[in-house]
Structure 1
Amino acid sequence: MTSAREKRGGAPVGFIAELDGIEAASVIYLRLWCDGPESQESVWNDFASSLGPAQARKALKSFENLCSLCSKHGRRPLMRHSVNCKCLGSDEACFANFIGTAVTGDRDDSILIATLLVRPDVAPLLASLATEFGLALKRMNLRVPKRMAGKEQTFHTQPAILH
């Protein structure tokens, strides 16, 4: 059974289309990564085609470690919406803001935001990984996918959980 605290993490707070490219991509890649092996292969393909194999491996390793730390040391499981959902859950908004802050080089604020996601002792490492991942996204020059930018509102009452 999902607790009220966990449900808050999935509460819609906005739309993917309202985020900048790096923040939107961070949420979409989080959703894809948590969706299973086929979707993880899609993440790899995106990275490899945009960054080349060597840089893609580094970006993927940073992202994989970031997701693993969130899962192992999270304050609670991160809630997420389905891959094609246009809305943005509160946990996803926090994750997007975290990556966006880390990529700007504001280490203190990114560590502070990381403490909303993981235990405080893990936050500095998470912030470093977020910076690496965010810079890779920046090099990819990403934009919000057209399918996510539509006006149609689709809210899901039972988002999946990042494990």
Structure 2
Amino acid sequence: MSVIEPIGQQADDGLPILEASERLLLSLLRRWLEGATRGDYAEWQAAWNEAAAVLGPEPARAVLAAMERTIRRVALHADGRVTYHKPCCRCVGADEMTLLQLVARGQRRIGPRPELLAALLVAPAGVAPVAEAAMRLGEALLACGQALPLRELERLQAARPEAPASVSVLH
């Protein structure tokens, strides 16, 4: 999928200004996915180290377990390719932002409901399981004080350029 426009201004490091909770979850997602797709144990270890340092060991276990469940359900039911950027990339992809907002709405259980966002990533049969897993991830994050902010999705979707069909790798 394509890269969305930055949310608000950009920080000095080039990333859109994201709250600490968003940066944490984005980093954990990217490292976990990189570890899974490349078989890179060092990325999984880096995700664990970051989560344990920020959240503490027990909450980190709960968050990473819920995150893995969410990732597995998205992968199982994906309606096409779901993309992510490498952990060091300064961009935030549309699928990544959709996942962040899916979890944010799952934390609050308010509109647009998590199911509407899950439908952007997965086939109809996967919407309920993915939304449920994202809500559990949101609850695990809330239990350790990591509330994700709600973003204006209409503005984000309007700013999302269409990617050429030949593009297959995100930087």
The 3 A distance-change label for structure 1 pair 107 and 38 is farther
Q: Which SS does the other structure have where 1:65 is aligned?
A: helix
The within-5 A match list for 1:1-163 is 9-14=1-6, 16-36=15-35, 37-106=41-110, 109-138=113-142, 139=144, 141=146, 158-159=169-170
CA distance in 2, matches of 1:10, 1:38: 27
Tell me, yes or no, if the aligned pair for 1:24 and 1:96 is still in contact at 8 Å: no
In structure 1, stretches of 5+ residues that fail to align are 1-8, 144-156
Greater relative CO (CA pairs within 8 A, separation 6+): 1
User: Greater helix percent: which structure?
Assistant: 1
Identity %: 24
Cα-Cα RMSD? 2.6
Q: Read off the aligned partner of 1:159 and give its amino acid letter.
A: L
Tell me, yes or no, if the aligned pair for 1:25 and 1:142 is still in contact at 8 Å: no
Query: 1:154 — aligned with what?
Result: none
Give the Å deviation of 1:108: 6.4
Q: Which SS does the other structure have where 1:45 is aligned?
A: helix
In structure 2, stretches of 5+ residues that fail to align are 8-14, 36-40, 149-166
Q: What is the count of residue pairs matched by the alignment?
A: 139
Please give the per-residue CA displacement for 1:56-111, whole angstroms capped at 9, x wherever unaligned.
32221111111111112111221112212222111112112111111122276111
